Chain A
Amino acid sequence: MSTLLQVRDLVKTYGTGEAATRVLRGLTLDLEAGEMAALLGPSGSGKSTLLTILGTLMKPTTGSYVMLGQDMIAADDAALTNFRNLHIGFVFQFHNLLPDFTALENVIFPTAVREGRETPAARTRGRDLLVRMGLADRIDFPTAKLSGGQKQRVAVARALMNGPELVLADEPTGNLDRASAIQVMELIGQINREEGTTFLISTHDEKIASLCRRQVVVGDGVVTG
């Protein structure tokens, strides 16, 4: 396996002066392409901050971050937006779908926003992904009419739409019942095995974490295990 991303000595401090809070304290991490890793750690350990930085939504205070050979720290906002669109997918705890759009429209959003329109090819891929997620009968449903588990599966399909190398999932099962959680994790595992997409999944749930081949434990702003 090749190295997908490298972070070195990541420091992230929120606020300034006496109110400054250092969340990451020199975190170093490598992720190989095709990995399926769980990110474990107590609340406030820096998991979400790390995912946000890896997702190029925020820059660290200091440290380096290289993904696919590109320096993510030096890149400007436009370059990061484009990079994120092409190479990184997100799955959030609360699915965060666009409420006024159908399941299919949500899934194809990342492609449509890049191409400036909803192409037939994008629709086809979006449908295929939803079918794969077991949502063949919910393709044109407004997201408001979907259950929590269905919404999360739509979110997974959306994260995969542009065929990203990395999918960052922040507590993707945290808001689901056990059955739905297992279903979503099985789908993620299947995609990881079949397409080689790298997953980094933040979770508090040891059982969910055990479904991943690697566990990365974060504590007090550094990787501890």
Chain B
Amino acid sequence: MVDLAINSFSYDSSNSVALKNIHTTFEEGSCIVLTGKSGCGKSTLLRLINRLIPTFYKGALDGNVVINNKNINEYSNDELVEKIGSVFQNPSSQFFNVDTESEIAFGCENLGLSRKELRRRVHGTAVLLGINHLLNKSIFSLSGGEKQIIAIASIYAMGVDVFLMDEPSANLDVEATKQLENIIGILKANGKTVIIAEHRLHYLRHLADRLIILDKGEFVDEIHGETIKSISTKTLHDKGLRAMVLEERMLCEATANAKTSILVENLDIGYKNLSPVIEDFYECFGSGMINGIVGRNGRGKTTFAKCLCGMLKETGGTIAINGKPYTRKKRLGKIYMVLQNTTSQLFADSVIAELALAKRTSKEDCGYTDDEVLKMLDLLHLKIRHPMSLSGGEKQRLAIAVGIVQNAEAMVLDEPTSGLDYGNMLMVKGMLKKLKDKGKYVIVITHDHEFLTTVCDRVIEL
């Protein structure tokens, strides 16, 4: 049981109030979903419950957090980590070990349990969560969903009562999200309290007991039990939230003209000594439409995208743009990729210098002035800022701007909406529409089903 009596909280690094007037009790064995626009304070609330505020993030709190009738400050570190467990957004950066069993045992090892008890806990957890097949594997061989489940298993093994999850589905595909849903169901059935901060709501439809909507640090609305299942998509969208029910839309199979298309024929991609990742692949990406690529993790979406952009050499087949075949080297920069972590693709020391750098390296003129491009992507007011000081969305737009200035024919976007709320998702949608209207080829790799159905003209399954 978690009792919250928060009058106000603000981070030391910011002047604005992050949370205010939150007085509620999270009952044992219930599933509580916190949602709201980016920056609404839902992650902050979780950090107060696992005491990362104030141990890791500093701020001033007026109020109390009480766990099982005892003030959180009276718990020792060891007591607290046995009560409260946390799962985070990025599955790959929350692992300490490289094999699954060590990872599940990690928390218990820290608590100094005997080896016999460790083994009992690890195998007990694996049986309960139905993940025996994941034991004794390398972390690097797991899919995103499996990694998330191992993260949950690791804190389950510690015997925690309360599970805090901060956007656990942000990097998961449809299938993996289903696995996550299943696991949360098991936790609930075992009397655990689950508190989830999320943008994507659809997978929590049958699990959530309370859906709490936050805005600017306050609880503005709360929906209970059965009402959650019947809430309409429009009501949610009006509040700036993602849909609860996924639309099953048939996507039109638009046919493309080979003269204005990216034509991929008989493509083979493989790494040496291994069986090919992609074999004899044929696809035609037309201009003037947004092409979505879906497929489970590990099916070669990223490999295909890398090859398309010229980062990886194909082992066979051809890729032609507008009827002309392009070799790997020629594709570099012609087909431009916007990465999921755009931090890795920005190199200059200001927004404007970033565009100048792009101009210097490309041989062709894109036909727009810098200001036009910046205006198109709503970056004009950030001209002299350092790229690394921008927000995730701004970095993403800058990366796209670079692609335009470089006069890339095609833009491949890798998971452009992971972790975005409804409003920001719409912004990305608007941006892609603009690119499409400018005659660029747009290819989106995504497992965000909601985004896919609202944006893409065509879906290709790998």
A and B bound?
no
